[in-house]
Amino acid sequence: MSLRRLLTIVMFVALCVPSLVFAQTYAPKYEVFGGYSYYNPQGDSRQNLPEFDKGWAAQFAYNFNHWFGIAFDAAGHYKSDYDGNAHSFAVGPQFKLRRHHFVPFGEALFGAQMIGPSNAPTGTDFVIIAGGGLDIPITRHFGIRAGQVDYVYSRYNELQPAGNWTTLNGFRAQGGVTFSFGGATPQKPVSAACTADPQAVDAGVPVQIGVTPAGFLPKRVLTYSYASTGGKITGTDNMATVDTTGLAAGSYTVTGKVMDNGKGKHQQIANCTVGFSVNEPKHPPVLSLSANPDSLKCGEPSTISASGSSADNRPLTYNCNSSAGRLSGNGPTYTLDTTGVPSGTTITVNCTVSDDRQLTASASTRVSCVAPPPPPPAPTASKFGAIEFKHDVKRPTRVDNEAKGELDRYADALAAAPDAKGVVVGQATAAEKTPKKGSKRTPDFPAERAVNTKDYLTKEKGVDASRVEPRTGTDDDQRTDLWVVPAGANFPAEGTQAVNEAKVKAVPRVAAPVKKTTKK
């Protein structure tokens, strides 16, 4: 890193960090610094000592008070593509001027420096380091060393073949982070908060004043005092009472003062104020009453709203009753249940509002109860359509391509009514129900047709299997009837039977095999 780059970083930190800095109002006992260090020996040497642009710096400071301490300093310096280095170890006094957000400092250090050029032996000699810098606290224990520049005086004998000493009048620049420990805990600003309960009273009602202090040292003894612009105030601790007897209506202010037993400049004081008011003479409350709706079907509820107000800002209590129905609630909102009220009845609701001084107001409203309309007709099952099984003689229970169109429309109808159920009723002719000669098994074409129809709907159209019920019918035909049963409706099951799907399995829809022809 070049010196120009270091100076650029220092300027950037000095401009950007102030908004984050910590107000340092105490002196830490120990401070540790670590960071980057640049060193230019500037010696008149045949070895042409370079600028060491790579390096580290470390420092430990023990502070005797807020402005004076002893610093123990160490630094190492190197350079890329150069097999040489410089190290220094020094100790000396350090002086700091601790401001609110910045801590400038100066130091004078004495110790030893070891210089090892790339083409000469390492030499050690006395070193003097004098300079200063600027620290910026971020928190109580962490900060930034925005910059430090030191003059570095040293000598090096091995640089000259003749054995003469070469004087090094160099300088170094450093920057990094600091850590602080120990020291007295900083005194926080003290404060106090006042409360009044209640804040508005009638003349003669006492007002309780409370004071809550904050920031005072725990071991300090606190003393409280009060003053009021009206009434007689008594109290010597964190609670006081204002006697409002004889006060005129209006606003008044109470001032509370908290003081600890610190001596001289160490004594802390905090003040707070709070207001209270004395009400105008008593006024009875006002009440308005409304019903929503005020005309309804018998059995429906109505919301009764009692809107009371007090010009004296007093707490209100409601009491309401009705001439019919059942009124529930405790104000200001009630619900009128008209279940069981005869049609044509007009219900009267009466309400009274009272404040804590037993001043009252009353109001009433009416609700008309009319007969409800007849209930809608119950839903019924309807036949959607049917599919035939007359075209595939060899597979008379298979759902063929001609049936797919009708089943697709049937699936769409079920999708449009997600609460509805589908019932598919398989039919067969009398001839189909008669077993063939020599056959060991009696065919069940109605059940197979119903199960294959459901299989197509669930597997190829995505209909939930629980929504489709296969059944068998007694009609003399080769078809399956498609029914839609809405929610709440019953399927007319007379003449049909449910299919045992554990015994009757669906036959997959596979195309008929292609007959092979033999060339003559």
For the chain, the structural domain boundaries read 3-181, 191-278, 286-370, 382-434+442-498
What is the rounded average pLDDT of the residues 396-411? 91
Q: Which CATH number fits domain 191-278: 2.60.40.10, 3.20.20.20, 3.40.50.2300, 2.60.40.60?
A: 2.60.40.10
| CATH architecture for segment(s) 382-434+442-498 | 2-Layer Sandwich (3.30)
Please tell me the pTM assigned to this model: 0.38
Identical fold between 191-278 and 286-370: yes
Amino acid found at 427: Q
| Cα dihedral across residues 439, 440, 444, 448: positive or negative | negative
Q: Which fold has domain 3-181?
A: Porin (2.40.160)
Count Cβ atoms below 10 Å from residue 55 Cβ, excluding itself: 22
Kindly tell me the burial class for residue 309, based on how many C-beta atoms sit within 10 Å of its own C-beta (0-12, 13-18, 19 or more). Answer: middle
166-181 and 30-40 beta bridge pairing: antiparallel
Cα–Cα distance, 197 to 430 (Å, whole number): 96
Count Cβ atoms below 10 Å from residue 285 Cβ, excluding itself: 21
* pLDDT tier at 81, thresholds 50, 70, 90: confident
**Token reading at 484:** 């839609």
What is the rounded average pLDDT of the residues 476-498? 93
Tokens 């049936």 found at: 403
- The phi, psi pair for 3, rounded to 5°, reads -65, -35
pLDDT for 122: 77
Instruction: Pick the closest to residue 482 from 391, 500, 473 (CA basis).
Output: 473
Count Cβ atoms below 10 Å from residue 115 Cβ, excluding itself: 30
Cα atoms in the Cβ-side hemisphere of radius 13 Å centred on 263:
0
pLDDT for 14: 45
Cα–Cα distance, 49 to 43 (Å, whole number): 7
Q: What percent of the chain has pLDDT above 70?
A: 88
Q: Which CATH number fits domain 286-370: 2.60.40.1080, 2.30.31.20, 1.20.1530.20, 3.40.50.300?
A: 2.60.40.1080
Q: Is the pLDDT of residue 511 over 70?
A: no
